[in-house]
Structure 1
Amino acid sequence: MIVDRSPFPATHRARRIGTGLCWLAVAPAAAWAVVRLAGLDRGPLVQALAFTPYVAGGSLLALVLALALRRWRPAAVAAVAAVALLGAVAPRALPAAQPATTGPTVRLLTANLLAGGADAGTLVELVRRHRVDVLTVQEFTPAAQADLDRLGLDRLLPHRQLNAQDGTPGSGLYSRWPISDAGIRHNLGGWGFSQAYGTVSVPGAPPVRVESAHPSAPYALDQVGFWRTDLAAQPPATPHDGLRILAGDFNATLDHGPLRALVRTGYVDAADATGRGLVGTWGPYDGDLIPPVTIDHVLVDRRIAVRELTVHGLPRTDHRPVLATLRLPAG
């Protein structure tokens, strides 16, 4: 009996195993790139797409593995997926050119108060320390309103349009300057989020319509339709209308098609414009082990220049307030 002791069968098996491992590593990033670029945010994919920046980083590991094992076909697919994902994500870390505006500066802060439980003292101190001119709040309750006024917010920002409600539906708009044409928008989702809005009269600038945005959250499959409808119903920014700012908890990142569609109507995402678009605003801040994602935004009319954006801590909420320094056109 002759026994084949040739090393080639074992080598062939090892090579096949290595190739299989490469495809297993590459396939998720490739599939993710297709879903992201095609705007296929439907069903459970909506929540998953919020974590696209992490997948974009991981796509490089799959590429390195395929190159190290010299599996050229998986490497080619991995390279295309990495370029696609990083091309979608990386520009948010780079500042963009801004319009040459000559009007007044406005400092706008937005904060989700987590059913009114956020620390009111910290929020008022943020307003005082940073000389905030306009504040939008979400999940705004009567108790939160009373605490904020007791701590002096009514003196710092005396003009207001408020819809304080128990639980999470409430919304508020505060301003240093007078507010006119104010109202409340009601969204469709299961939590019934509302959005306070009004036209702020900033001295030396055209009137600015500011709205505390809070579309429905896609927390369950039966809510995804409401989420899409609420985002589609947000007021667009067009060059022939007055200046607009939407600021709040959008329950969406720039990897979600409906938010990108809203931005394309005439807005600029302030974090994206300043190279801060990958800074997390929601996630582990109240103790939950969730990777941070960016779902709180300040969307400004393209005619408004974004000078700076910073993200701050606020105890007892799972969101972080976002502060944007804006330069308006001259009035």
Structure 2
Amino acid sequence: MNLRHATLHQLRIFHAVAQHNSFARAAEALHLSPPTLSLQVKQLSETVGQALFEQLGKKIYLTAAGHTLAEACADIETRMDRLSEDLEALRGVERGSLKLAILTTVKYTVPKLLGGFCAAHPGIDVAMVVGNRENLLQRLANNQDDLCIMGQPPEQLDVVSEPFADNPLVLVAPPDHPLVGKKRIAPKRLASEPFILREPGSGTRLTSEKFFASQSVTLKNRLEVGSNEAIKQTVAGGLGLAVLSTHTVTAELALGELVQLDVVGFPLIRRWYVVYPRGKRLSAAALAFKDWMFEHQPKAGRAR
């Protein structure tokens, strides 16, 4: 066995098959014909001297040798990506790529920052994924992005987290709610009110429940909704109250579709963080965007 005879092309093809668990899907992803792809994998297997896949029924599975080679391919791909970043860095921040993962709540502000950044640096290719906290934690653990933008940084992962903007949470109600217009509403007054909550694990929900627990109030959960947009519509429809980021309800408050209640202790002040794995070497583009966020941090609307 002499792996020096293996080519990067063959390793890339094998890695694609391993990731897709399918020769056909890998061929489609790489824009290769299935016979060409199969031949390359066969030649690589002969170079390794061991079978890389086994077929059981219509499914293929990695052999022990295949698993070992797939891990090596992932390392090689990471190193090649780093090499590309290093070479781009030598050309300055005007070239390169940037991969972001942002929390759903942040989609109301970060894309605006990103738009300004891209206008200032048109040579940078940008990809952005929007997800909930669970999605972002998984991507962060797998080091899939350059930067993650989220609320509470994870305690179970070894990461660098830098706060770059305030994220005030306000309590909103439909315009015809009996508490609209009342001053300094005591939190205990809300014990009997139905609430529309985000899914368990949501940073907004955790912060809200922690605050009301400190006031000896257990929130009455009427509905759990998976998006801020759906929560706003549900509250506007009169089904309950909700705690949301000021940034997400600016338009609705201005139009009178929702009303911010004057509750003692609100707004609850959270922070937004830029997060990445400790030890990760940020590209020139990632460093430039991180600096851009701090220089152009979003301003929340003034609580009324």
Coarse TM-score class (shorter-chain normalised):
under 0.3
Q: With CA pairs under 8 Å and 6+ residues apart, which has the higher RCO, 1 or 2?
A: 2
Structure index of larger Rg: 2
User: Which structure is higher in helix share?
Assistant: 2
TM-score, structure 2 normalization: 0.24
TM-score, structure 1 normalization: 0.23
